[in-house]
Amino acid sequence: MNDMTPTREQREAALEGMGCKRKRVEDIRFTQGKGQYVDDLKLPGMVFGDFVRSPYAHAKVTKIDATEALKLPGVIAVLTAEDLKGVNLAWMPTLAGDVQMVLADGKVLYQNQEVAFVVAENRYIADDAIQLVEVEYEELPVLVDPFQSMAPDAPVLRPDLEGKMEGAHGPRKHHNHIFTWEVGDKDETSKAFAEADVTVKELISYHRTHPSPLETCQCVASMDKVKGELTVWGTFQAPHVIRTVASLLSTIPEHKIHVIAPDIGGGFGNKVGAYPGYICSIVASIVTGVPVKWVEDRMENLSTTSFARDYHMTTEIAAKSDGTVTGLKVHVLADHGGFDACADPSKWPAGFFNIVTGSYDFPAAHLEVDGVYTNKAPGGVAYRCSFRVTEAAYCIERGMDILAQKLGMDPADLRMKNFIKPEQFPYQSALGWEYDSGDYHTAMQKAMDTIGYRELRAEQKAKQEAFKRGETREIMGIGVSFFTEIVGAGPSKNCDILGVAMFDSAEIRVHPTGSVISRMGTKSQGQGHETTWAQIIATEIGIPAADIMVEEGNTDTAPYGLGTYGSRSTPVAGAAIALAARKIRNKAQMIAAHMLEVSEYDLEWDVDGFQVKGNPQARKAMKEIAWAAYHAPPPGMEPGLEAVSYYDPPNMTYPFGAYFCVMDIDVDTGVAKTRRFYALDDCGTRINPMIIEGQVHGGLTEAFAIAMGQEIRYDETGNVMGASFMDFFIPTAVETPHWETDYTVTPSPHHPIGAKGVGESPNVGGVPAFSNAVNDAFQFLGSTHIQMPHDAWRIWQAARDLGAHG
Ligand code: MCN
Ligand code: CUM
């Protein structure tokens, strides 16, 4: 070996494979303003579409007159529900098994609902024309409170469902009822409650909020009437699903539909669903024969395109006097707005909310969810949530704190006592999940030691006494949160979207010179897939990540996949990538054996090539093997070096984490300052520690926003408050706390590289940590539960109601 021969460590470092803090390759274009987003697209002859929207939350639409609008120079068309009926698209199916108006068909069900679609030469003309479309409304009684939805005299929101007492998920109890979803053993649970030493019960509400990505939802639809081909560029988290849905709805054959998701400026779940803007743009392009662009503004995005949460969870826990939990009972009232357009796998009307037993060994549990209609925007689930896992984590983590308070126990100790033990994995939960792996005690202990938990409790106690003596107006809260996530939807046995199983895919092609193009069925919106997917391939086939190009989002070139949401990309596509790479490595082994004139069984893999066992000098690097694959493959072997893998996961993955929030609250102003926030995450094998840290920082910032103020609120007439960034809390660097991150590694036993998802964990664990901190601060004044969001005004009110203002 001469001095120039790289060492094994150097060869390994050159790969920038799994475990490497590789810098994000996509940022080279993003930070230079060179990303290509939908709105950057300018096609010859392209026109613009925009919506006439309803000012009322509930009204009959008695007349739409576009005469004056059509007279405005530059206006090309005005589409209404009547026009869409001609192509059978006035209503569209939702992912949740409901139907949704594309344009108001006789009535509107929420403020800013789409009433007509104006198509004009440019956006300015379209906006002017909107003012000229004359719409007559007849106001109807408005229903905003989900607790009133099923009152006997509640207004009928959905006359189209009148008399239909069977919904997509079973029987309906009332004209505004959508579904009841029941899981668990009711009798067992009742028995646990009857025999309990201690029980607690609380209504824990998770308010309505919105993912609000910086880039709003948008698309460009272009129908080539000569070829009969439709191309749609759009902000799609799941491009293939959009293609299939577009084909089913339009009857254009699927191979003649090209769906392209270019760079996406944040999704956070907002870009999973199908919205009226997409349908109207497609129809308008079919009608006009020119490309039609639709770009939402901020208010439209916040007030109509999906929402998140709006879960009202009556939570009961039964326990022994020593703190051992024996039963959990949860009833959820779920506000779905005017249409049930929740984005869940088909069989899961409340997502994976039945992870609500959390990290604890509940012998018995029972859950019931009722979905109801109200005069609010449809959508739901989306916002860094893993299909209602964030609501579930909030529910159980608040619940455990409330139980600790009743028992007079420390909330961290109560959790430790009830954790599922390492030897219990794989663990069967009372509500039907099989947790793959976990080591909760180790994670919790590490978190407590790092943050100095006992010292903080001592400090808090001293502060409470000082407060009572009138020496300070500041109180201190310590928020404890330990979450178990469930990500990786999902196994075809129980996960599908509109009947398509939720597998994912990867295709890898090694070129003759040893560089690689790879394509996946997922679609990054900021998660850094171009960086991390290359790292998996680099480790698996020994080609440097820098020589591997990752491409997502073009349905013509990428293998069919179900997209990116529910932190499913690593658990599902990540596995497909590893398995496709292993197919390549297997073929490479045969080629290397031929080149070295040995049996393939005499070879072993080493970093970036195959070597003869016991004679490492005799080796062939993957680059040499790639060349041979194209010019001199072994006799009888097909040339080329590429592979495709479709992966149907055997189970979900269950990441977990221990989060602690230390907060100081001024009772006179209601201002809460986060002194420390510590987040320990376990997502199994870590592909890129820096990307994970970025994901955690982002998710925690969103958790902070949600817990501390972000809200989509409605007044009693259904006016949506907070539909602009003036009112909707978006934390900047000024408000955002400093994040301390940490980790443990408990690999997933069923995932080819042991990795679990992480993208949504910080939101799932973060919200309860913040809320528990606020609640913990006020406990000593006799408070049991303060509802979110905890903005200064509401904290001030809570302090006043507890008599803290003297
Ligand atoms: N990762 C890793 N090691 C692991 C797990 C993940 O290095 N053990 C890396 C992955 O390779 C990937 C990233 O972390 O680059 C996120 O992976 P994963 O947890 O699999 O989540 P997804 O890629 O499926 O992303 C979806 C998730 C969701 S559902 C929301 S919502 C959310 C989130 O990602 N939206 C985001 N993070 C976001 N981050 C940005 N910047 N923008 C969004 O819209
Ligand atoms: Cu639930 S928000 Mo993400 O699944 O895109």
Ligand 1 binding pocket includes 532 (Cβ within 6 Å): yes
Are the C-beta atoms of residues 336 and 380 closer than 8 Å to each other?
Answer: yes
In this structure, the residue with its CA closest to atom 36 of ligand 1 is 268
Query: Can the peptide bond before residue 635 be classed as cis, meaning omega within 30 degrees of 0?
Result: no
Res. 399: pLDDT tops 70:
yes
Mean pLDDT of 701-726: 96
Domains of the chain and CATH, by start: 12-37+504-647 (3.30.365.10), 42-140+215-265+271-303 (3.90.1170.50), 396-487+652-801 (3.30.365.10)
pLDDT at 722: 86
Please give the Cα distance from 190 to 192 (Å, whole number).
Answer: 5
pLDDT greater at residue 741 or residue 5: 741
Amino acid at site 228: G
What string of DSSP letters covers 721-778? E--STTTS----TTTPPPEEEEE-----TTSTT-B---TTHHHHHHHHHHHHHHHHHH
How many C-beta neighbours within 10 Å does residue 55 have?
A: 13
Digit-coded pLDDT (tens) for 534-565: 999 999 999 999 999 999 999 999 999 999 99
Query: Any idea which ligand is nearest the CA of 562?
Result: 1
Q: Are β-strands 218-224 and 292-295 bridged in parallel, bridged antiparallel, or unpaired?
A: antiparallel
Would you state the pLDDT for residue 3? 65
Crossing angle of the two packed helices 574-596 and 622-631, in degrees rounded to 10: 70
Cis peptide before 490 (omega within 30 of 0): yes
**384 labelled catalytic:** yes
Q: What percent of the chain has pLDDT over 70?
A: 100
Count of C-beta atoms within a 10 Å radius of residue 666? 17
Please give the number of the atom of ligand 1 that sits closest to the Cα of 699: 37
Helix (H) or strand (E) holding 712: none
Contacts of 770 by beta carbon, 8 Å cutoff, 6+ apart:
479, 661, 663, 674, 703, 704, 707, 708, 790
Catalytic one of 215, 218, 760, 794 = 760
Sequence-distant (≥ 6) Cβ neighbours of residue 191 within 8 angstroms:
327, 364
Nearest to 318 by CA among 357, 372, 277: 357
The predicted structure's pLDDT at residue 2: 56
Q: How far apart are the first and last CA of the chain?
A: 81
Does ligand 1 lie within 6 Å of residue 760's CB atom? yes
- Rounded distance between C-alpha atoms, residue 667 and residue 690, angstroms: 38
Whether the CB-CB separation of 445 and 480 falls below 8 Å is answered with no
In the β-sheet with 107-108, what is the strand arrangement from edge to edge?
107-108, 59-65, 134-139
Nearest Cα residue to 88 out of 286, 230, 229: 286
HSE toward the beta carbon, residue 444, CA cutoff 13 A: 23
Q: Are 319 and 199 in contact (CB under 8 A)?
A: yes
Decide: 568 in ligand 1 pocket, CB within 6 A: yes
Q: How far is CA 306 from CA 153, 372, 805, in A?
A: 28, 16, 39
DSSP string, 82-103: HHHHHTT-SEEE-TTS-EEESS
Q: What is the mean pLDDT of residues 51-78?
A: 98
How far away, in angstroms, is 485 Cα from ligand 2 center?
13
How far apart CA 352 and CA 358 sit, in angstroms, is: 11
469-507 burial: b if 16+ Cβ within 10 Å, else e? eeeeebbbbbbbbbbbbbbbbbbeeebbbeebbbbbbbb
Which residue of 215, 486, 527, 690 sits with most ligand 1 atoms within 8 Å of its CB, as the best mutation to test the pocket?
527
| Tens-place pLDDT, residues 251-262 | 899 999 999 999
Angle at the Cα of 230 from the Cα atoms of 227 and 236, rounded to 5 degrees:
160
The two structure tokens encoding residue 409: 């126990």
What residues contact 173, with CB distance under 8 A and at least 6 apart?
A: 150, 180, 370
Alpha-carbon distance values, 483 to 356, 358, 703, 767 (Å): 10, 6, 14, 11
Single-letter code of the amino acid located at 345: P
| Alpha-carbon 448 to chain mean position | 28
Distance CA(505)–CA(512), nearest Å, equals 23
363 CA distance to ligand 2 middle (Å): 30
Residue closest by Cα to atom 33 of ligand 1: 759
Tell me the average pLDDT of the chain.
Answer: 97
CA distances for 474 relative to 376, 489, 667, 673, angstroms:
39, 45, 6, 10
Residues ≥6 apart with Cβ < 8 Å to 328: 189, 315, 316, 317, 318, 356, 357, 362, 364, 365, 366, 396, 399, 430
How much is the average pLDDT of 108-124? 98
Question: pLDDT per residue over 2-58, tens digit each?
Answer: 568 899 999 999 999 999 999 999 999 999 999 999 999 999 999 999 999 999 999
53: tokens are 């929207």
Task: Yes or no: say if 371 and 340 are a contact pair by the CB < 8 Å rule.
Answer: yes
Q: Regarding beta strands 229-234 and 257-260, do their DSSP bridges make them parallel or antiparallel, or are they unpaired?
A: parallel
Task: Assess whether the previous peptide bond of 634 is cis (omega < 30° from 0).
Answer: no
Nearest partner of 79 among 114, 118, 130, 47, judged by Cα? 118
Reported ipTM: 0.99
Provide the pLDDT for residue 663.
Answer: 98
Q: Name the closest ligand to CA 380.
A: 2
Please tell me if the CB atom of residue 695 comes closer than 6 angstroms to any atom of ligand 1.
yes
Question: Could you tell me the distance, in angstroms and rounded to a whole number, from the CA of residue 473 to the centre of ligand 2?
Answer: 40
Atom of ligand 2 nearest to the CA of 385: 1
Nearest-atom index, ligand 1, CA of 528: 15
Amino acid at 61: V
Query: Does ligand 1 come within 6 angstroms of the Cβ of 687?
Result: yes
Split at pLDDT 50, 70, 90, the class of 806 is confident
Ligand 1: does its nearest atom lie under 6 Å from the Cβ of 390? no
Average pLDDT over every residue of 175-202: 98
488 C-beta closer than 6 A to ligand 1? no
For ligand 1, whether the C-beta of 765 sits within 6 Å is: no
Q: Is it the case that residue 1 has pLDDT exceeding 60?
A: no
- Give the nearest ligand 2 atom to 387 CA: 1
631-655 pLDDT, tens digit per residue, is: 999 999 999 999 999 999 999 999 9
CA distances from 56 to 18, 565, 610 (A): 53, 32, 69
- Residue 284 region by backbone torsions, left for phi larger than 0, else alpha for psi between -120 and 50, else beta: alpha
Catalytic residue among 342, 385, 395, 683: 385
**Region 384-411: what's the mean pLDDT?**
98
Residue written as token pair 């503004």 = 297
How many Å lie between the centroid of ligand 1 and the Cα of residue 757? 7
Q: CB within 6 Å of ligand 2 — which residues?
A: 237, 267-269, 272, 381-386, 565-566
Q: How far apart are CA 550 and CA 509, in angstroms?
A: 11
**pLDDT tens-digit profile of 334-388?**
999 999 999 999 999 999 999 999 999 999 999 999 999 999 999 988 899 999 9
**Angstrom distance (rounded) from CA 680 to CA 688:** 16
Catalytic residue among 237, 525, 535, 611: 237
Dihedral class, residue 640 (left if φ above 0, else alpha if ψ from -120 to 50, else beta) = left
Q: Which residue in this structure is represented by tokens 């994995």?
A: 425
Known active-site residue 434: no
Q: What is the pLDDT of residue 380?
A: 84
The pLDDT assigned to 771 comes to: 98
pLDDT at 36: 98
Residue 712 · residue 208 · CB < 8 Å: yes
- The yes-or-no answer on residue 342 being catalytic is no
Q: How confident is the model at residue 804 (pLDDT cuts 50, 70, 90)?
A: very high
Catalytic member of 22, 172, 384, 686: 384
Kindly give, in sequence order, each residue whose CB lies less than 8 Å from that of residue 597, ignoring residues fewer than 6 positions away. Answer: none
- Is 237 among the catalytic positions? yes
Q: Give the ligand with the smallest distance to the CA of 696.
A: 1
Mean pLDDT of 698-715: 98
Percent helix, strand, coil in the chain (nearest 5)?
Answer: 30, 25, 40
In short, whether 528's Cβ falls inside 6 Å of ligand 1 is: yes
Please determine, for residue 524, whether its predicted confidence score (pLDDT) is greater than 80.
yes
